[in-house]
Chain A
Amino acid sequence: DTGVSQDPRHKITKRGQNVTFRCDPISEHNRLYWYRQTLGQGPEFLTYFQNEAQLEKSRLLSDRFSAERPKGSFSTLEIQRTEQGDSAMYLCASSPLREATGSSPLHFGNGTRLTVT
């Protein structure tokens, strides 16, 4: 168990540029989540996958945000035409879904800190 890995750790970009983040979940976990967190706030749900299927996307999320998990393993989150308001920590988490016990704790990566100038 190597944990959830996110890349890059930090990203500085200029307004209007596109950025892409990568997340590698714990290998046996079939669920993968993306969250955004700003200072003083809890993680805000963006989207989640079960295997390669994207099951839900936040209604608050702009169309500039898109996520993929093409083979049910790693995932990418892309933000197009970045805005200063996109500056935040982007967190990825994975979980094993054990419906019999209801045990589905999320395991977080270290996050990608995005700064839009």
Chain B
Amino acid sequence: QKEVEQNSGPLSVPEGAIASLNCTYSDRVSQSFFWYRQYSGKSPELIMSIYSNGDKEDGRFTAQLNKASQYVSLLIRDSQPSDSATYLCAVMVGYQKVTFGTGTKLQVIP
């Protein structure tokens, strides 16, 4: 079982819709969770971090964490073509290394 799993996509949504990206992780003692956005040919950039159960909102982005289900998600409201990118879920176990999923490619259709 992979440590961090994501659907590779592509996930296609129309402009203005809500994009929902999902991630599951295997280690129950995982403590810190991150969402990164990566444009083609560029390095990952941090969008959101979340550390406790529930929702965390930042502008058009909402991260949701459910530790009991070992599940973290990212919602993007009012999706824009500029949101088209690969979204990487990352998990830190304890205060050790950070493990990334393979990423979900999002395509926002104008």
Contact = CB atoms under 8 A, between A and B. Distances in A.
A97 B43 contact: no
Interface in B12-61: 31-32, 34, 42-46, 49, 51
Nearest to B32: A102
A33 B43 CA distance: 14
B46 A107 contact: yes
Given A33-B97, A97-B95, A111-B43, A105 B102 contact: no
Contact of A106 (B8, B34, B101): B34
B70 interface: no
Contact of A45 (B43, B45, B98): B98
Contacts of B4: 42
A42 B88 CA distance: 7
B90 A106 contact: yes
A33 B8 CA distance: 24
Interface residues of A, number: 25
A43 B90 CA distance: 10
Contact of A99 (B42, B88, B95): B95
Contact of A102 (B31, B44, B97): B31
Interface residues of B, number: 25
A104 B92 contact: yes
Contact of A43 (B88, B92, B96): B88
A42 B89 CA distance: 9
A2 interface: no
Contacts of B102: 40-42
A117 B71 CA distance: 41
B75 to A, nearest CB: 19
B83 to A, nearest CB: 18
A108 to B, nearest CB: 4
Given A42-B88, A56-B97, A104-B98, 12 more contacts: A41-B103, A45-B98, A45-B100, A56-B96, A99-B95, A103-B32, A104-B92, A105-B34, A105-B46, A108-B43, A108-B45, A110-B43
Interface of A: 33, 35, 40-45, 48, 55-56, 91, 97, 99, 101-111
